[in-house]
Amino acid sequence: MIKLAKNEGKKFEEDFKRSVPEWCWCNRYKDGTANFKGDKNENVRFQAHNICDFEVFAKDKLFLLELKSYQGVSIPLSGIRKNQLEGMIKASRYKNVIPYFLLNFRGIQRVYAIKIQTLYEFIGTTTRKSIPLKWCIENGIEIPSEQKRTRFRYNLEILFSEQIEESEVKESKGWKYKELKLGV
């Protein structure tokens, strides 16, 4: 049997899941193509369109997290699906639901958590075709990581603990959004 090399994005997802603190509940949504028999990628009938990769329940907050991993110093907007953006924006209206995109810049080994509202506003106002690293540094939360041999361990306590404290102070103010025409 031939063993295929793992996609770097899948490695990021695995490392993320292993990094979730024990006091949090984590669920990975299934993705990919399927048919009526349930076989993968054969006689494709429909494609799953989840709004995110993971949901993490931390204390009384539900984090919706979409993970993106790229080699360069920018993340192409073409990698963000319209249904993800709209679904996470709609979910953010609910009390205690906190959606983020986690952007992994593999080339420099940095990960940034970007609130969905911040990303939505950026996409709605930019003429760029990608999200630059500099913008992530200015607008996101850096997730510290430690490389263990070839894989990474992320300090997700920073994201979950700080955001729980912040949302307890603010208590969801019913953030509103306008429909965006996305060329994504």
- The residue ranges of every structural domain in the chain are 8-170
DSSP E strands in 74-163: the ranges are 74-76, 97-105, 110-115, 130-132, 141-143, 145-148, 151-154
Spatial separation of the C-alpha atoms in residues 145 and 174, rounded to whole Å: 33
Percent of the chain with pLDDT strictly greater than 90: 62
Spatial separation of the C-alpha atoms in residues 165 and 181, rounded to whole Å: 34
> Please, which pLDDT band fits residue 170 given cuts at 50, 70 and 90?
very low
* Mean pLDDT, residues 47-75: 92
- Residues 86-120 have pLDDT tens digits of 999 999 999 999 999 999 999 999 999 999 999 99
Assign domain 8-170 one CATH number from 3.40.1350.10, 3.40.50.720, 3.10.20.30, 3.50.50.60. Answer: 3.40.1350.10
Instruction: Check whether 40 has a pLDDT greater than 80.
Output: no
pTM of the model: 0.76
Lowest-confidence region among 24-28, 38-42, 74-78: 38-42
Number of Cβ within 10 Å of residue 44's Cβ equals: 12
Name the token pair of 26: 């984590």
32, 41 in Cβ contact below 8 A?
Answer: yes
Residue 33 has a pLDDT of 53
Percent of the chain with pLDDT strictly greater than 70: 76
